[in-house]
């Protein structure tokens, strides 16, 4: 079982740990954001096209029996 720390000591530890973090610059954040958006758009288009193709193929196969 972990020992309990009072809230004041906990906040001091949190502040100490966050000062050790290497935060990204504004430019790095913007580049990462744009890269994520581009990949999301690419994935959405890919899955849309795959869904349309599978739907068309299923419709073709199921209508052949009629």
More confident: 18 or 1: 18
Single pTM value for the model: 0.64
Q: Collapsing DSSP states into helix, strand and coil, what is residue 49? A: helix
Domain that holds residue 58: 25-66
Residue 2, domain member (yes or no): no
pLDDT value of residue 66: 59
Residue 8, domain member (yes or no): no
Could you tell me the two tokens for 66? 């009629």
Pick from 17, 1, 33, 41: which is nearest to 9 by CA?
17
Residue 64, domain member (yes or no): yes
Burial of 20 (0-12, 13-18, 19+ CB in 10 A): exposed
pLDDT at 16 over 60: yes
């Amino acid at each position: 079982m972990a020992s309990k720390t009072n809230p004041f000591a906990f906040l001091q530890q949190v502040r100490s740990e966050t000062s050790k973090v290497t935060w990204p610059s504004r430019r790095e954040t913007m580049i990462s954001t744009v890269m994520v958006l581009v990949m999301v758009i690419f994935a959405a288009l890919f899955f849309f096209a795959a869904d349309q193709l599978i739907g068309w193929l299923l419709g073709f196969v199921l209508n052949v029996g009629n």
